[in-house]
Structure 1
């Protein structure tokens, strides 16, 4: 199907938003996503179960994909869509309500391509940082990110918007015990490198030739002592003394680039 035909097909059945108002919350058990890249990626993901799309006509016209003929689409004004998302959010005329992605288990990742790095996040709680790390993970070929289930943001529109589609393509493994997960990662043959500003070796010096698990600490506090103890090596980025540290998502992007180009 030609691109223009696909865009026409996306319009589906149009209704009007009931009363021109939204609740500002997703239905129980559902996730609300917004922004063209996040919504388009979710619509194209066969693993997603979709519930409803609210959109402006311009928003639907911007999509490059195809919806089933009976897909529930409701047209609304941009100001009404703003009531469905977090405050001052650039929804770009698209808000999608869908089911959360199915859980992915660590052993599924460890049985995959070991040449691709794994990113382990120790209590990184800011959804913007997690979304940005997902985006970098997709850009530099990481096989997954791993977080502790109780100390990481939930799947959300903020994560998805910042990830710019990567939430749909990079597996996100949530574990109960991060230290135990690092043990399993080591048993699978990965060299665990913890990023720490106080480390003596640079990342380039610490990188092995084989599989790598990159461990990033929380914003501000860095890695917990127990997690650092479960790393095979600690490493730092050779940043200028003019700045104390980098944001965790920026550091992850640079480290993933270094791994990809070693």
Structure 2
């Protein structure tokens, strides 16, 4: 089988398109690169959706933590503390055990039955855990930036009669984003790296539609050589990290386009070793 045929058969296998049976003998480098790359689609799925939904939830948590009202501030503080204070792997484990014990018929809430059957699968359950985890870390970043918004900007807004939601939307929130973006970029990079933990969590792959480590582990077992599939996974994550840096760097330049070139903050990537 040629490499082109292998790519045609296996490039989208992780999402259910292409050959169902995995290669069992005479495994080639092209097959490993193709199938592990196919599994990366799930890592991108987990990271992109958790980051997208977590961004808005984190903004709300940061504002809630900064509010003087205890009934709003305290729940936000405890949510951030719990998810930042416990290991991500333990969160995966506890969430899976919780979802397994939910009624299979669903939960009735305000007369509406919410489906729970898919929560024990990786594409739903693991995504929820990653969403909650990154929301907590991002909220702390946004909260610090919110507290660092120059008082002069807020006083100038008050002088012009800009108050309430308009002040937050036009003054506070943009400034908060400019201050938080370098640190938030590091959080985004770590989140994509953390998607590799989904393979080790209790959430099973749905119909053998696994992530990159799912296929790397398969090839390591079949070839008895882990020094080929796992470096391939690392290479894919390096490429993904570069894509995140370029994307977030472009957004950072957009956020600071009004500043002189010499005063624009540069992204400084500081990967976290452990969560």
TM-score interval (norm. to shorter): under 0.3
| TM-score, structure 1 normalization | 0.21
Q: Choose between structure 1 and 2: higher strand proportion.
A: 1
Q: Choose between structure 1 and 2: higher helix proportion.
A: 2
| TM-score, structure 2 normalization | 0.20
